[in-house]
Amino acid sequence: MVYYDPGISPPPASPTEAPPPGPAPANPPSPPTDAAQIKTSDSLGDFISNLGQNDDQKKLLDNLTQDPDYQKLKKYLDDSPSKVKYTSQPGLVIGGVERFGGYNSGSNTLIINPTKPEHVKDPKELIITVVHELLHVSQDLRLENPDIPPPIPKDIYDTSTDPTIQGNPDLKGQPLIRKDDPAVVNDPVLKKYLDDNYGDSDSNPKEEYKDLNKKGQKYIDDIVGRITAK
């Protein structure tokens, strides 16, 4: 999952791109995106209703719509003066890596990759991605409309809104934090903060940090725990 800004648009996957050297990955990548498969909606409700690719995904997505925290988020987004677009894009690639999902703050567009192998094998992963990206949307809209706070705990931050991270002039406005970024490598206090409060990225764990803090991750885990208990 990655939160990306207006300057980073998701490039289409290339069918001619050579596979990386070494053994085959445990979860082979999705096929390259076919433009006809990309579907966008102005309605979060319609988007969730049509996102599932199999019965297991559809069941959990339906359970999600009945969760009280999701319902609060949905109302907040539906009522927001900043309108959001919701896109399903199989095989989503950003920065050369197939991603679980993303959010473009320039166009207020949330994107989910429903065919990511982890999403297909374990539908809980799809729910995690959906709520994760909804939290990114909420963080962004909180900046756009400060008088209308989102219905989430105030200590949930992503890397684009966390004051500790954004207080570093070399990382300001940078939503995706790489582990080899000089601003991180040369600042052991910042590195420890990222290690302790964010941890390894799901899509690219060796090179990137998660873009949502552990308070946000717990919020997601609580929702997933409730809807999978049904």
Task: Provide the token pair at 183.
Answer: 């601003």
Name the pLDDT band for 220 (thresholds 50, 70, 90): very high
The pLDDT of residue 65: 97
- Assess contact for 58 and 52: CB atoms under 8 A: yes
- Assess contact for 63 and 230: CB atoms under 8 A: yes
**Residues paired with 40 in a beta bridge:** 87
Residue type, 32: P
With a cut of 60, say whether residue 14 has pLDDT above it: no
- Assess contact for 227 and 127: CB atoms under 8 A: yes
The pLDDT of residue 106: 86
- Assess contact for 64 and 223: CB atoms under 8 A: yes
Name the pLDDT band for 2 (thresholds 50, 70, 90): low
Question: Mean pLDDT, to the nearest integer, of 128-147?
Answer: 93
With a cut of 60, say whether residue 185 has pLDDT above it: yes
Name the pLDDT band for 69 (thresholds 50, 70, 90): very high
Quote the mean pLDDT of the chain: 86
CB neighbour list of residue 49: distance below 8 Å, 6 or more residues apart:
61
Task: Provide the token pair at 34.
Answer: 């076919």
The pLDDT of residue 17: 32
- Return the minimum-mean-pLDDT range out of 39-48, 69-78, 91-100, 183-192: 91-100
C-alpha to C-alpha distance for 215 and 189, rounded to whole angstroms? 20
- The values of phi and psi at residue 86, to 5°, are -120, 120
The pLDDT of residue 176: 85
C-alpha to C-alpha distance for 143 and 182, rounded to whole angstroms? 27
Q: Residue 98: count other Cβ atoms within 10 Å of its Cβ.
A: 22
Residue type, 29: P
The pLDDT of residue 36: 61
- The values of phi and psi at residue 76, to 5°, are -60, -45
- Provide the 3-class DSSP secondary structure of residue 72: helix
pLDDT tens, residue by residue, 80-122: 999 999 999 999 988 788 889 999 888 999 999 999 999 999 9
Distance, CA of 135 to chain centre: 8
- Assess contact for 102 and 204: CB atoms under 8 A: no
C-alpha to C-alpha distance for 10 and 181, rounded to whole angstroms? 21
